[in-house]
Structure formats: C-alpha cells, structure tokens
Homo-oligomer: A and B are copies of this chain.
Amino acid sequence: MLQYALLHLAGYDSVQEDDLKNFRQWQSRTPGHPENFETPGVEVTTGPLGQGIANAVGLALAEKHLAARFNKPDNEIVDHYTYTILGDGCQMEGVANEACSLAGHWGLGKLIAFYDDNHISIDGDTEIAFTENVEERFKGLGWHVIWVKNGNTGYDEIRAAIKEAKAVKDKPTLIKVTTTIGYGSPNKANSYSVHGSALGAKEVDATRKNLAWPHEPFHVPEDVKRHWSHHVQQGAALEVEWNAKFAEYEKKYKDEAAELKLIITGEPPAGWEKALPTYTPESPADATRNLSQQNLNALVKVLPGFLGGSADLASSNMTLLKMYGNFQKDTPEERNLRFGVREHGMGAICNGIAHHSPGLIPYCATFFVFTDYMRAAIRMSALSQAGVIYVMTHDSIGLGEDGPTHQPIEHLASLRAMPNVFMLRPADGNETAGAYKVAILNRNTPSIIALSRQKLPQLPGTSIEGVEKGGYIISDNSSGNNPDIILIGTGSELEIAAKAADELRKGGKAVRVVSLVSWELFDNQSDAYKESVLPSGVSARVSIEAGSTFGWEKIVGSKGKAIGIDRFGASAPAGRLYKEFGLTPEAVVAAAKFLC
C-alpha cells in the first residue's frame, strides 16, 4: 500500500485516489503486491521475499555496465542510483545473500539498500529465528554499512546516510534503518499484528489521534500536496535536462547514441536474425551446448544489449563470449557475467537487468537440473514479463556419469506447466538457432533452452522456421495427411525417432516424424496448422523424450504410447543409460508396430 501511496503523492496518473480505494480488487491497478505489468511506476514485480534486493543488484549492474560503455568525459549520459528497501524477511532469504555477495564483489557503488530493521516478521519478534549480526555479514560481503538508529523520525540522519552512501563509490551501501513497525499506532505498533492485517477502525482512530492527523481517509492535505508536487516539477525538469543532454550526445557521438537508443527502446537492429548460424545434414555432429555457444557469439555481435553468463559452469555450459572479457569491478564495460555458484541470485539479477532497459537481453546458464535452485526467479521472469534467456545444458540422463542428482527428469514437464514460458528443447544446429530466434524476439516471455552435453547429428528436415511454430514435420513418406503412424521426438531423442522411422519405412509403413521443440509455441498455432501436423484421425502415435512422460498424453492421446523416464536417473555412461532406460530406436519401432 505504501508504494501506491507514494506513487499517488508523486503524481503518477496510474494511481488515482480511486485506485487506492480499489486496493486488492479485481482488475485494479493496486493489486495485493505491486506488479510492474499492472501499474506504471512499478519497476519490478515484488512480493516473494529476497527477489527485490536481487533485482536491484541487476538494475545497478545494468547502470554500471551502460555507464562504462556509453559515458564520455564530457557527457555522462548514463548516471543514476539504484535504491531498494528490504526487510528482515528478505535478509533471511538465501537469494538475498547470493545477490549481495555479488554486489560487493562487483563494487556496485551506486546501489543503496535500506534495510528496514523493525525486528518483526510474520511469526513475531525476529528473536525467534534471526539473531545473526547483519552488519557484520554485510561487511564480510564487501558492503559499506551505515546504521540509522531512529528510522521513525530521524529524517536528517537518513539524509546524512544517503549522502555518505553516495560518497562511497567502490562499494554498495546498506543503510540499516531501525524502525517501529506500525509506528504511530498506540496499541499495535511493534507487533506482528500490523504486518499483513489492517489496523481495524478502532485502532485507526486511535492512531489518528496519536499522530494528530485530523484529515478524512484518502484525503491529502494541501500542504502535503504542495510539498510533493515539487517532485513532479523536479522530475519533469530532470527529464528535459536529460533529453537535452542526449541530444548533445547524439550530435557528438552518433554511433554510440544509435546503439544506446536501441538499448533504451528495445528495438532490435535491422537484419539481426541474419547472424543466426544455419546447418546442413552434412555439418558435423555436435553437442547442442556447443551449437548454443555459436549462437551466443554470433548474437553478441549484432545485439548491443546482449550480455550474460553462467553460475560457475561457463566452460560446461559453453557460454563465454569470446570477443569480450569479464564484467568485473574495474571492467564493467565487458559482457561476460561470472555469477559464481549462485543460481537463484543469477536469475533474479537477470530479471533486474531485463527490467532496466527493454534492449538489454540477459542470458544465464547452469545445468538444466538446477533450474530447481532458481525456479522462483524463473517464475518472476514469466510473471513480470522479463525476456531472460535461460541456457540450460546437460539436459537429460545424456549427461551420464554425474548421476541422478544432476539428471533432469521432471524438469521439462514442470516448466511446460508454468505460464508465459517458452520451454525449448532443440535437436540440432538449426533448431538451436531457431530457439535463439524465438528467445530474442519474445522480450516479454522468458525462454528456457535445454541443451545436450552429448554430440547430436544435424538432422535432415530441421529448420529455424519449424522451431518458430513449436512443432513441425521433419520427414514423412505418407500422403493425404494420413500416415500409418506419427513418431514425435524432442531434442536429443528426435534422432532416435528419425532412426525408428527409417526402419519402419523399410517395412513399408507410411511414417511421419514430428519435432515438438516447444509445446507452448505449438499451442499458439492455428487449429488448421496443428491438424496438418498431428491429424486427429491418426491415433497411432509414439513419442520419445528422455524425461518424464507426464503431460505427453495430450500429444499421443489415450491410444498412443509415450516413451520416457518416470523414475530418477543413474550414474553410468550415457549410452548405457539410454539402453537400460529403453530409449532406443528399437523400442520406438516395437511400440509403433504394436499400434499400426
């Protein structure tokens, strides 16, 4: 509610008095937790604890990076602070510690975090579960720490702290502000009962009396209005000033200005998609993680806002941008981000980067199974419409020896079930390029690209255009949209489906092979197109995918057969695992013969 009240006072049209009265109602601009896609003025969606501080690290990283690339000695066109507030609950979340450790490492001097130290969380006094020394921890994380002891009315202290924080340029600053939750309420202040519940009419009255506040509910007194209206004028003046500064910049630094404009507007440079590599069946077999790296390195040449990295697996995820060095404290103009083993922080930081400027396109990488570590951040990408690209390698039991802790099983299904996510599982080079095309074009939807550790052949029939439709035919020897059987595969198992088709065709069968690289994209196609790929009259269908069969009934129907893995994996060479788990052309052929 506080955030909405501030937006209202600060003159945002998006939050009128009626919006405040509509708090938490259907289709209001003031939902229970602020959402960036509902309310102009809200920069990131918050709610789940710890996400906000990690987003702020991403926002501050974006500023530091863009400033380093675009600022000139005579024109600092990128120059802003990132302010954030976090509470005791946020401080307890691991994701906050991950992101703050990176903020310290990167020396994000323009990040200023207010820690609302009110000693109350939902369960009551933080004494029951949170007695660590936060200041000492943050000093250990490389932050500058200031303590404002009277956060309720110590305005001068707060101003002085901000001034001090700005003066410290090589470290982020945590301003610990000790406050009383529910300040002003004579009977409920300093108790958990004001955390998530309304005060109630009686206590509201008592609070009004206590604070000597005689005004009607929702009424903003004239002097308050007048005071806040300065901000509107000040903001407008700053915008005019910045526009003039940019006009200057544009005159003097034409190329840089054009590039910065692309980043600010999010418009993709003309013809960028020509950079995507293509392949023929004669191109060498390769792991899709390697093909992914070809795409990353091709895209960074044409997309000015493209940057990213891995959670300590750059050489396994194949995510290094060869033209660039590492984004570090003293080299912030570089584009390789080194997140360390901090998957959750990585995802939430990338959300912040994506929300900083529409043309910033962050990617982040780890093993596919570790989407589990960062799932809350992935969901925030999806909900808050951040087009983060998740480069997820080692995407099945195909990773082999590392065993079941490292082998995704349920992950494809679990992410297909999440709204506003493109879950892509390319089979070879053309499909990997197609996956990146989809990911780059959809700036309001995160894409998760599942990539193989093992080598895969370049298959005849695959294409970028096919991937854009989510599902498409890669080979067919039937006529009249009426094959004897349809074999459906994704990613590394598309090759197995293709091999099984060859075998069945030798036996005289009319066989169609379909690549179902993204279920969501396929769902978005017209009924006519879907019917042309998976005709409803053909119930003989076999799917193969090295993952849970959960959800595949939708594709193969109740008469079809889904081949997959509905148990945890095992540690052994990949080839052995495929055989033991029955993921073979022979198994597909046998299932197909049973059906047609």
* Contacts from A to B (Cβ < 8 Å): 24-28, 31-33, 35, 45-50, 88-90, 92-98, 101-102, 104-105, 121-123, 126, 128-142, 310, 312-316, 326, 328, 338-342, 344-345, 369-370, 372-373, 375-376, 379-380, 382-383, 401-406, 409-410, 413-420, 548, 550-551, 553-554, 557-558, 566-568, 570-573, 576-577, 580
Asked if residues A373 and B376 are in contact (CB atoms below 8 Å), the reply is yes
A488 CB to closest chain B CB, in angstroms? Answer: 14
In the bound complex, how far is the Cα of B576 from the Cα of A567, in angstroms?
Answer: 40
Q: A416-B550, A571-B24 are in contact. Are A121 and B341 (CB under 8 A)?
A: yes
Which residues of the partner chain B approach A576 to less than 8 Å between Cβ atoms?
25-26
B570 touches A342 (CB 8 A): no
Q: Which of A123, A379, A416 has the most CB of B within 10 A?
A: A123
A104 close to B92 (CB less than 8 A): no
CA distance A548 to B520 in the complex (A): 13
Given A312-B123, A414-B414, A572-B26, A48 contacting B94 (CB threshold 8 A): no
Chain B residues in 8 Å Cβ range of A338: 123, 128-129
**What is the CA–CA distance of A156 and B142 in the complex, to the nearest angstrom?**
33
Q: Is the CB of A32 within 8 A of B406?
A: yes
Question: What's the least CB distance linking A546 to chain B, in Å?
Answer: 14
A122 touches B373 (CB 8 A): no
Q: How far does the Cβ of A93 sit from chain B's closest Cβ, in whole Å? A: 6
22 A–B contact pairs at CB < 8 A? A25-B576, A31-B404, A32-B402, A50-B341, A88-B341, A92-B342, A93-B341, A94-B94, A102-B129, A122-B313, A134-B140, A135-B140, A137-B141, A373-B376, A410-B414, A410-B418, A414-B415, A419-B567, A419-B568, A420-B567, A420-B568, A551-B553
On whether the beta carbons of B49 and A341 are closer than 8 Å, the reply is yes
A142 to B406, CA, bound (A): 33
Closest to A89 in B: B341
* Residues of B close to A344: CB separation below 8 A: 94
Q: Across the interface, do B553 and A35 meet the contact criterion of CB distance under 8 Å?
A: no
Please give, as numbers and ranges, the residues of chain B lying within 8 Å of A557 by CB-CB distance.
558
* A372 to B373 Cα, complex, angstroms: 8
CB distance from A77 to the nearest CB of B (A): 29
Q: Is the CB of B123 within 8 A of A132?
A: no
Chain B residues within an 8 Å CB radius of A25: 571-573, 576
Alpha-carbon separation in the docked complex, A25 to B403 (Å): 10
Residues from chain B with Cβ under 8 Å of A95 in the complex: 94, 373
Asked if B31 contacts A403 (CB within 8 A), the reply is: yes
Q: 10 nearest interchain CB pairs?
A: A94-B94, A136-B140, A47-B405, A31-B571, A129-B340, A414-B414, A137-B140, A26-B572, A410-B417, A417-B550
Residues of B within 8 A of A413 (CB): 413-414, 417, 550-551
Distance in angstroms between the alpha carbons of A406 and B339 in the assembled complex: 27
- Nearest to A48 among chain B residues (CB) is B405
Indicate if the CB atoms of B558 and A48 lie closer than 8 Å. Answer: no
Q: Knowing A93-B94, A341-B49, A413-B413 touch, does A401 contact B32 (C-beta < 8 A)? A: yes
User: How far apart sit A5 and B234, CA to CA, in the bound complex (Å)?
Assistant: 69
Does B33 lie within 8 Å of A122, measured CB to CB? Answer: no
A138 CB to nearest B CB, Å:
8
Contact of A130 among B35, B46, B340, B345 (CB under 8 A): B340
CB-CB nearest in chain B for A384: B405
A107 closest partner in B (C-beta): B131
Contact A312 B406 (CB under 8 A): no
Query: Residue A342 contacts which of B94, B104, B134 (CB distance < 8 angstroms)?
Result: B94
Whole-angstrom CA separation of A567 from B89 in the bound complex: 28
Cα distance A45–B312 in the bound complex, in angstroms: 22
Q: In the complex, what distance in Å separates the CA atom of A26 from the CA atom of B134?
A: 47
Are B130 and A105 in contact, CB atoms less than 8 angstroms apart?
A: yes
Residue of B nearest to A320 (CB): B123
A402 touches B551 (CB 8 A): no
Nearest-Cβ distance from residue A374 to partner chain B, whole angstroms: 9
A354 to chain B, nearest CB (A): 17
Distance between Cα atoms of A26 and B580 in the complex (Å): 9
Task: Give the docked Cα–Cα distance between A551 and B32 (Å).
Answer: 30
Name A536's closest neighbour in chain B (CB-CB): B558
Contact B550 A403 (CB under 8 A): no
CB-defined contacts of A101 to chain B, threshold 8 Å:
92, 130, 132
**With A94-B93, A139-B136, A405-B47 as given contacts, are A27 and B570 in contact (CB-CB < 8 Å)?**
yes
CB neighbours of A89 from chain B (8 A): 312, 340-341
- Min CB distance A418 to B, Å, is 4
Q: With both chains docked as a complex, state the minimum distance between the C-beta of A475 and any C-beta of chain B, in angstroms.
A: 25
B33 touches A405 (CB 8 A): yes
A403 touches B551 (CB 8 A): no
A142: B residues at CB distance < 8 A: 131-133
Of all chain B residues, the one with the shortest Cβ separation from A96 is B94
Partner of A551 from the list B126, B383, B550 (CB cut-off 8 Å) is: B550
Once the chains are docked, how many angstroms separate the CA of A326 from the CA of B310?
41
